[in-house]
Amino acid sequence: MMDWSTVLISMKTASLSIFITFFLGLFAAWAIVKMKNEPIKMFLDGVFTLPLVLPPTVVGFFLLFIFGVRGPIGKFFIDFFAYKIAFSWPATVIAAIVMSFPLMYRSVRGAFEQVDYNLLDAGRTLGMSEWKIFWKVLFANSLPGIISGGILAYARGLGEFGATAMLAGNIAGQTRTLPLAVYSEVAAGNMGEAFNYVLVIVFIAFIAIFIMDYISIRKEKQWR
């Protein structure tokens, strides 16, 4: 019988992580696009993109090093708040944020760079503040790419396995997400149960692809 708490944990993790990743990716991309110092820009771009190309278990190792009981942040939380981050539900969110952030960041940056920057200059000549230019000009003209990045990041957070296993573990009812449930059932030889979890993941992924395609079609129609 399918453990629906696993689905709930995955949905909660993906939902909270995309809320945080959305704004982190948005403002990180804006900061990089505006940056004039090319060496620093390239360095930061590499750091922001690194989780996308590293094996998830390697990312999980670094997260465990930082948020583990002996890590700088993990030890701080234990000493001052008596709370252990590693192998808790917040650890699943942290892993999902780190692994999905590059997709959001790269998508938003690409969308920003396609905007005609004469529109931004026009906003400045009209006396608009940089904050208003960002939201009313840059954000508005980049919206399809931003939404696509958000959907990709959500799907990535929902399907995260390696970093989550390293930092949060595989605790039933607490940190076991859908990918971890698939792994656990296969390891136990319960192929039928694993298949049920796989169906849920495939269904959610298909919905995400459908929404992305719908946005792309609408965008093409607007250009015609």
Following DSSP, what letter does each residue of the chain receive, concatenated?
Answer: ---HHHHHHHHHHHHHHHHHHHHHHHHHHHHHHH---HHHHHHHHHHHHHHHHS-HHHHHHHHHHHHSTTSHHHHHHHHHH----TTSHHHHHHHHHHHHHHHHHHHHHHHHHTS-HHHHHHHHHTT--HHHHIIIIIIHHTHHHHHHHHHHHHHHHHT--HHHHHHT---TTTT--HHHHHHHHHHTT-HHHHHHHHHHHHHHHHHHHHHHHHHHHHHHHHH-
CA 59 – CA 63 distance, rounded (Å): 6
Q: Please, which residues have CB within 8 angstroms of residue 144's CB and are 6 or more apart in sequence?
A: 111, 215, 216, 218, 219
Per-residue confidence band for 48, with pLDDT thresholds at 50, 70 and 90: very high
pLDDT at 224 over 60: no
pLDDT, mean of residues 173-193: 93
Q: Cα separation of 194 and 192, whole Å? A: 5
Question: What average pLDDT does the segment 198-213 reach?
Answer: 85
Contact of 138 with 120, CB cutoff 8 Å: yes
Neighbours of 114 (CB within 10 A): 10
Query: What type of residue is 90?
Result: P
Q: What is the pLDDT of residues 106-127, one digit of tens each?
A: 999 999 999 888 888 888 888 8
Please tell me the predicted confidence (pLDDT) of residue 128: 87
Per-domain boundaries in the chain: 4-223
The mean pLDDT value for 33-56 works out to 93
Question: Mean pLDDT over residues 50-73, rounded?
Answer: 94
The string of pLDDT tens digits covering residues 145-178 is: 898 899 889 989 998 999 999 999 999 889 999 9
- CA dist 147 → 25, 141, 157, 192 (Å): 12, 12, 15, 35
Check if the beta carbon of residue 161 is closer than 8 Å to that of residue 179: yes
What confidence category does residue 1 fall into, taking pLDDT thresholds of 50, 70 and 90?
low
**CATH value of 4-223 in 3.30.420.40, 1.10.287.130, 1.10.3720.10, 3.40.190.170:** 1.10.3720.10
